[in-house]
Amino acid sequence: MTRWHAVVLVLSLAAAAPPRAAAQAPQAAQAPQAAAQAPQAPTFAGSDTCKICHEDIYNSFAKSPHHPLEVEARKGWQGRACESCHGPGQAHTEGPSADNIRNPAKLTAAAADKICLTCHLNQPTHVGRLESSHARNQISCTACHKVHASEPLVARKAEAINAQCGSCHLNVWAQFQRPFHHKLPEGDMSCVDCHNPHGSIRPAMLQIFAANEPGCFGCHGDKRGPFTFEHAPVRFEGCQACHEPHGSANPRMLNRADVRFVCLECHASLPNAPVKVAGVVPPTFHNLLLPTFQNCTVCHQKIHGSHVDRNLLK
Amino acid sequence: MKTLIAIFVWLPVLAQQPAAPAANPAPAAASTTSDAASPVPSTEPALTGSIDLGYVFIPGVGGSYDAYRSIIDVHQGPKLLGADFTLADPKHHWFDTIQVRATAWGAEPSSSAHVEAKKSGVYDFNADFRDFAYFNFLPSYADPLLGQGVVLDEQSFDTRRKIAALSLDIRPGHWWTPYFGWDHDSSSGTGASVFVTDGNAYPVPNTQRDSTDLYRGGVRFERPHFHVTLEEGGTAFKSDQSLYQNPGSVNFGNFSAPLFGQTLDLTSLLAAYGIGGSSAYSKALVTANPTSWLDIYGQFLFSQPNSNVHYQQTDAGNLYLQSQVLFYSSEQEILNAAAEQPHTTGSLGAEIRPFQHVRIVESWMTDRLHDAGSAASTQTLALSPYAALPLSELIASTLVTNYNQEALDIFFDGIPKLTLRGGYRYVWGDARYAFLPPEGLASADQEQLRQNIGVGSATYRPSQKISLTGEVEGASSSGVYFRTSLYNYQKVRAQVHYQPLQSLSVTGDFTLLNNQNPLAGTNYDYSSHQESLSLYWSPRGGKVFDIQGSYSRSDLKSNIGYLDSGNLSSQLSAYRDNSHAATALIDLNWPHGKRFAPKLSAGGSLFISSGSRPTSYYQPIVKLRVPFGSHVSWFTEWRYYGYGETFYLYEGFRTHLVTTGLRLSR
């Protein structure tokens, strides 16, 4: 513990240290980058100029969470918020062609993201970006975030979030049509309750709970433990070792129709097998011809881990 | 708890004072823009939104009412079906906006409420509450007596889970932002469980109650070239469960056959779990872009949950002790146990852009978990009115897992409209667990994880109207933890999105996963693929009609050998699931008239599968909304649920739900 606290302390001191001179002027750090593309001084046209032709977008943008860019001086884009993303627009006003203005919608995902990340990279939201399959598969920020729209910039209601995710993840949404599922089609949960679309340190961009535990425990706290006697798959491979979290035709969202096969497909190794895998074969009194032994969780009811019994019986 | 609420209430108030000057520059800028530029123009009403009030009629449920409750669980009665309000303060005095959302209150299986209050640059407050009903009684899941004609689920429950979350960010948007949060998760209810003894298992009722509270606080430092987030938090956990059988009744359990000429039974039981736990955690997140060609990402996460257990059990009947071949008439057991689980996770990565069209992403991650538990128990068995057998046991257990991953991806977008990616990932780790003293076959073991994974993908976007993405991943393993783990596998995903018109889009999706583990004794052969197609058509902005629909077909085959524990003979577990799923919704709008424009929607979803558990599940729906003026509309909805299983006919059900109500809006 002491060692980790020392690490946290060092990071705290580093963060609290006076910022570098370059960092003290965000305007200076950002505006020159755009200015470097067009050296003439009057390269920025100003948002009022944009409004003349794009009034609907301008009015819509006025209700966007990005609108403070337009009115607050400390962000460095006061009066020219449009050009914070589209780049200097003077040439576009002089020759109103689409070729004279930067349109993120026409850029590659990486190039479009670079514009967003100019301001948003250094935020906790993006700390898992390298693990994000969205980033790796060229899904740009604007695929989900509607920059020009009035509110919301991002969907807030569960139904809207699910519709947005489901528009690309068709096969996942199809799984939710199965009878046993988390309550997404009903609008009681949303995809982001379980997944972090910006990336996560957990597999499948799962949300995390209490620093580094699977987000599943945020709602299923009784399965969290730590247990005196753990069931290894829960810790090694997570809930999806036995469950289909998006939906299943099997009760309890299990990945097999019969409980016994969920268990026996792993519990089939002899202790002295040449290849080591977890899960030994049950003792011989388990007569699989009897219905009692075909329902393993009837007796091994603490299958997620037991506080009391090494065989997960109570 | 009261202190926490006081903090949440007072912090926004206190935070407003010092932050007020920050808003000063805005008026000058705002004065140069039009009224429309104001985030909340003063001409708008302060309160906007809608509320849906209605009544749900359920004429009756045909078939299994327990299955209906396990899957649907909506009840008849008056309800607040939904609410969505925004309260705006034109003067931005205490807040900019307060948004309130609520869904499904009143005898619904799940209800939610959400409040967001914010004042730009001063505070951002969120509160979320959800209440879920968890009911599950499906004999096909756990009915060991089905062969005797008894339809019963011995692992069933009827509980409610309440989830709440509060979060408060102070000075959002500034370069340093303190934040606080509280999350709560609790469950309580009743159910059926099983009391297991040597020689028999007795289904008994149980009560269960658990709660977890998570408290957290931290600070974010956001500067133009780096960001650091530091967070400390902790949890408090409590769980109480009890199994009971009142004296005076005889429970013969799941095994009615005599054992050594005697019939086993349970005449009374009280087993009570008292479990408490806590944890502290630390979190440090870092991002930085020290140069224009380098971005750095890092995380350090540490948690250390622990639990303490006090378990008491008193039972009576004709019971059996296998280890000493003894019958006894009553038992008392007291057990104390504890567990601790330090868990450390770290990651470090960088995106390097050495050339204009090349990006290199390198990342490393480690996840280390160590669980140590011990339990001490004392038992007293009454063999006769004058003889007792004391037993005591001390057991220790450990479970350790170390997971490591290193990945390298290279992206190239030098060819117009095309982005290529190639990558390699190496995953390695080890896991071990042990019990002391050893018992049986599974007392200690150790496994290794070694996987080499290659990835390739291409994204082609010839125009804004069409995009194609393909991704292939293949892995070769020399060690995995479980027989069913991904071993030598291939994943393929392809997606095409085509939008020929602004109002028309089509998306196609294909995924495939093959996994083989050819090792002797395993012979695992798994393959699955899914094909999906979706369509959205909304001509003239949906003024007359719009259509959206999707169809998916999936096919899953799994073959793996296992050992029959009775005679250790090799058997095959074959699982098949071939399914069709479709959703569709057609909206028809009355195009004439502004104040009277009814809207009719029809569609629904269906799921049909064959294979190991053939199932059908239909949910057609028809909705009608008729506005009366600009603030009131009447709506009604018909929905049908039809569920059937070929192998478990007694679990099928069908029912109609009719909802009608009013939407009040302003």
Domain spans of chain A, in order of start: 41-154, 158-209, 225-306
Average pLDDT over every residue of A184-201: 94
Residues 6 or more apart whose Cβ sits within 8 Å of residue B252? B263, B264, B265
Integer Cα distance of A166 and A175 in angstroms: 11
Place of tokens 């819509």: A60
Query: Reduced to 3 states, what is the DSSP secondary structure of residue B483?
Result: coil
Residue-level pLDDT at B367: 97
Q: A34 falls in which pLDDT band (50, 70, 90)? A: very low
Q: Which helix (H) or strand (E) holds B549?
A: strand B545-563
Average pLDDT over every residue of B499-517: 96
Integer Cα distance of B462 and B417 in angstroms: 5
What is the tens place of the pLDDT at every residue in B422-433? 999 999 999 999
| pLDDT higher at B493 or A35 | B493
Residue-level pLDDT at B166: 98
To the nearest whole Å, the CA of B511 is away from the closest chain A CA by 8
Residue-level pLDDT at A154: 84
* CB of B194 closer than 8 Å to CB of A301: yes
Paired strand residues for B374 = B338, B396
* Mean of pLDDT over chain B: 90
Query: Reduced to 3 states, what is the DSSP secondary structure of residue B40?
Result: coil
Best residue in A116, A170, A181 for a mutation probing chain B (most B CBs within 10 Å)? A170
Integer Cα distance of B259 and B382 in angstroms: 19
Query: Minimal Cα distance from B509: which residue of A?
Result: A170
Average pLDDT over every residue of B439-465: 88
CB contact under 8 A, A78 and B409: no
Residue-level pLDDT at B440: 67
To the nearest whole Å, the CA of A37 is away from the closest chain B CA by 15
Of A170, A264, A269, the CB nearest to B534: A170
Q: Is the peptide bond before B290 cis (omega within 30 degrees of 0)?
A: no
| pLDDT higher at B404 or A62 | B404
Count H helices, E strands: chain B? 3, 29
- Per-residue HEC secondary structure of B637-657 comes to EEEEEEEEECCCHHHCEEEEE
**φ, ψ of residue B137 in degrees (nearest 5):** -145, 90
Of B226, B532, B568, the CB nearest to A174: B532
Phi-psi region of A312 (alpha: psi -120 to 50; beta: other; left: phi over 0): left
Residue-level pLDDT at A151: 61
CB contact under 8 A, B302 and A211: yes
CA B358 to chain centroid: 37
What is the tens place of the pLDDT at every residue in A63-115? 888 888 888 887 788 999 999 999 999 989 988 888 889 998 888 898 999 99
| pLDDT higher at B272 or B2 | B272
CB contact under 8 A, B130 and A188: yes
To the nearest whole Å, the CA of B29 is away from the closest chain A CA by 5
Which residues from chain A sit within 8 angstroms of residue B433, using beta carbons? 230, 232, 278
Of B138, B287, B423, the CB nearest to A127: B287
Average pLDDT over every residue of A208-236: 94
Q: Burial level of A263, CB count in 10 A (0-12/13-18/19+)?
A: buried
DSSP string, B163-183: EEEEEEEESTTSSEEEEEEEE
To the nearest whole Å, the CA of A85 is away from the closest chain B CA by 16
Residue-level pLDDT at B31: 34
Which residues from chain B sit within 8 angstroms of residue A30, using beta carbons? 224
Best residue in B207, B227, B524 for a mutation probing chain A (most A CBs within 10 Å)? B227
Q: B438 falls in which pLDDT band (50, 70, 90)? A: confident
Query: Minimal Cα distance from A271: which residue of B?
Result: B441
What is the tens place of the pLDDT at every residue in B134-172? 999 999 999 888 878 888 899 999 999 999 999 999 999
Integer Cα distance of A296 and A252 in angstroms: 14
CB contact under 8 A, A127 and B335: no
A222 touches chain B (CB under 8 A): yes
CB contact under 8 A, B482 and A241: yes
Which residues from chain A sit within 8 angstroms of residue B511, using beta carbons? 171
Which whole-number Å values give the CA distances from A157 to A245, B40, B191, B192, in the listed order? 21, 21, 33, 36
Average pLDDT over every residue of B13-27: 34
Which residues from chain A sit within 8 angstroms of residue B637, using beta carbons? none
Residue-level pLDDT at B594: 65
A68 touches chain B (CB under 8 A): yes
Within 13 Å of residue A79, how many CA atoms lie on the same side as its CB? 12
Which residues from chain A sit within 8 angstroms of residue B459, using beta carbons? 109, 137-138
| pLDDT higher at A167 or B566 | A167
* Mean of pLDDT over chain A: 84
To the nearest whole Å, the CA of A91 is away from the closest chain B CA by 23
Residues 6 or more apart whose Cβ sits within 8 Å of residue B199? B255, B259, B264, B319, B320, B322
Integer Cα distance of A65 and A147 in angstroms: 9
Query: Reduced to 3 states, what is the DSSP secondary structure of residue B35?
Result: helix
A183 touches chain B (CB under 8 A): yes
Best residue in A182, A207, A265 for a mutation probing chain B (most B CBs within 10 Å)? A265
Residues 6 or more apart whose Cβ sits within 8 Å of residue B594? none
Integer Cα distance of A203 and B424 in angstroms: 16
A272 touches chain B (CB under 8 A): no
ipTM of the complex: 0.90
Of B154, B229, B509, the CB nearest to A171: B509
Integer Cα distance of A311 and A267 in angstroms: 13
Integer Cα distance of B94 and B116 in angstroms: 13
Of B37, B277, B563, the CB nearest to A70: B37
DSSP 8-state symbol, B139: T
Integer Cα distance of B651 and B72 in angstroms: 13
Count CB pairs under 8 A between chains A and B: 483
From B411, B304, B407, select the one nearest B365 (Cα to Cα): B407
What is the C-alpha radius of gyration for chain B, rounded to an integer number of angstroms?
Answer: 31
Q: B382 falls in which pLDDT band (50, 70, 90)? A: very high
A226 touches chain B (CB under 8 A): yes
DSSP 8-state symbol, B109: S
* pTM metric for this prediction: 0.89
Q: Determine what percent of chain A is predicted with pLDDT higher than 70.
A: 85
- Per-residue HEC secondary structure of B356-392 comes to CCEEEEEEEEEEEEEEEEEEEEEEEEEEECCEEEEEE
Residues shown for chain B: 666
Residue-level pLDDT at B593: 65
Q: B133 falls in which pLDDT band (50, 70, 90)? A: very high
| Exposure class string for B452-480: b at 16+ Cβ within 10 A, else e | ebebebbbbbeeeeebbbbbebebebebb
Strands B418-436, B444-463: pairing is: antiparallel
Residues 6 or more apart whose Cβ sits within 8 Å of residue B116? A156, B97, B98, B99, B124, B125, B126, B127
What is the tens place of the pLDDT at every residue in A11-26? 443 433 333 333 333 3
Residue-level pLDDT at B14: 40
Integer Cα distance of A231 and A208 in angstroms: 20
Which residues from chain B sit within 8 angstroms of residue A16, using beta carbons? 221
Residue-level pLDDT at A32: 38
Of B161, B339, B447, the CB nearest to A225: B339
CB contact under 8 A, B144 and A294: yes
* Percentages of chain B per state (helix, strand, coil), in multiples of 5: 10, 70, 25
To the nearest whole Å, the CA of B316 is away from the closest chain A CA by 17
Residue-level pLDDT at A27: 39
To the nearest whole Å, the CA of B248 is away from the closest chain A CA by 24
Of B210, B226, B375, the CB nearest to A308: B375
To the nearest whole Å, the CA of A286 is away from the closest chain B CA by 6
CB contact under 8 A, B575 and A286: no
Does pLDDT of A42 surpass 60?
no
CB contact under 8 A, A63 and B145: no
